[in-house]
Structure 1
């Protein structure tokens, strides 16, 4: 934890959150959005356990870190026009870049690779949480819009 400033830790936490939120908002539905939020929460809650040897994830997503930083996390400033125009995805890509800058030189390449995969997996978990349509009951779990958004994130993460 001492390797990272509070601002850097904020960036590390924000990137996967914004990726998940962006994926959820490209295909909004009444029930599906709730299912996707639950999937995102599950990913974040399980991060420290899934990556016990990753110093980045432990510093930002361990139970102690989440409790410490809960009150300090900035609430995202989401504007309807950003969701409709796709600018929210651009903002999430900028958040990815900021997070990767924060960990550069402070973590091993293996830890950074795992962290990148974790960010992407957050988006995939959200996309796969519900089917297409208003109630999330559509046949396809990952909509065309979600797949396109995930593809953009994959490029931004260098995966």
Structure 2
């Protein structure tokens, strides 16, 4: 099944893994952790097309061809400290996931939807695993706050 999407739908599909990764990064923000977490998110998103070569949803948004087309323009969200502290950022990421899944459901195969959800979760997990907590990232790889965020995302994406 080859799915086709409007530019707005493509933006919605691209936004979910970005928001999910950013949410995990922001729940336990540290000076040292920011760079490796951003790199992990970028690497996971950039590698999506190669990891899922037969997924039309992921190919439509994350393939080299899609990137070159310039069709997908995702703006970096403006995140306020109070959104992180209140949990609104996690809620916004879950809303982004639900919007993306709604867009692809019915247009993509059930297998592609499951793979896309797995990819979105992989983005969150990659960010959580990228840097340790504590002084210079020497502590546990996944902080308590990141573990809570991952659990929330897992319940939406896997559960």
TM-score (norm 2): 0.94
Is 1:55–1:107's contact at 8 Å kept on the other side of the alignment?
yes
Q: Which runs of no fewer than 5 residues in structure 2 stay unpaired?
A: none
Question: How far did residue 157 of structure 1 move?
Answer: 1.4
Structure 1 window deviating more from structure 2 (142-151 vs 1-10): it is 1-10
| 1:157 maps onto 2:140 in alignment | no
* Aligned equivalents of 1:102, 1:152: Cα separation in 2: 21
In the TM superposition, 1:73-152 aligns within 5 A as: 73-133=74-134, 135-138=136-139, 140-152=140-152
Is 1:23–1:149's contact at 8 Å kept on the other side of the alignment?
yes
Structure 1 window deviating more from structure 2 (60-69 vs 110-119): it is 60-69
Question: How far did residue 158 of structure 1 move?
Answer: 3.5
> CA 1:134 to 1:70, structure 2 compared with 1: closer, same or farther past 3 Å?
farther
Is 2:11–2:72's contact at 8 Å kept on the other side of the alignment?
no
Is 2:13–2:103's contact at 8 Å kept on the other side of the alignment?
yes
TM-score (norm 1): 0.94
In the TM superposition, 1:16-31 aligns within 5 A as: 16-31=17-32
The Cα offsets for residues 53-99 of structure 1, whole Å up to 9 and x where unpaired, read as: 00000001001212334772222121121012111000000000000
> CA 1:70 to 1:150, structure 2 compared with 1: closer, same or farther past 3 Å?
farther
RMSD: 1.6
| 1:45 maps onto 2:46 in alignment | yes
Aligned residues: 158
Q: Which runs of no fewer than 5 residues in structure 1 stay unpaired?
A: none
> CA 1:81 to 1:69, structure 2 compared with 1: closer, same or farther past 3 Å?
farther
> CA 1:85 to 1:69, structure 2 compared with 1: closer, same or farther past 3 Å?
farther
